[in-house]
Amino acid sequence: AITTGASSGDVRIAWTDTRTGSWNLFYRSSTNGGASWSGETRISSYVPGYNYITPTGFGLPYGDYFQMAVDDRGSTQLAWGEAGSYAGPGNIWTAHN
């Protein structure tokens, strides 16, 4: 996902990948239109009590549920789905950065 903030050059991106061996959601931002970027931040995290979430990530993305927006305070709001399989059951998670 990609979105822009109110300021010129404010670009924010988020994506999922499996570099840890499990799925995770990552985030980066730029204040100069993408000429340089912040360090990567892992947004998804371990939550005890869900059998498809481990300290290294989650089982699979759940459906096409992945959105990002910038609120009127300039905070990035993220929502995504994750599950143990594409068939579910899964959950929708939210975070802000």
The pTM score is 0.90
Q: What is the pLDDT along the chain (97 residues), one digit of tens a residue?
A: 999 999 999 999 999 999 999 999 999 999 999 999 999 999 999 999 998 999 999 998 876 778 999 999 999 999 999 988 887 788 999 999 7
DSSP codes joined into one string, the chain = -EEE-SSTT-EEEEEEE-TTSSBEEEEEEESSTTSS-PPPEE-----TT-TTEETTEESEEEEEEEEEEE-TTS-EEEEEEEESSTT--EEEEEEE-
- Count structural domains, the chain: 1
Measured CA to CA, the distance from residue 42 to residue 20 in angstroms comes to 11
pLDDT at 76: 97
pLDDT at 63: 66
What domain range includes position 42? 2-96
pLDDT at 28: 98
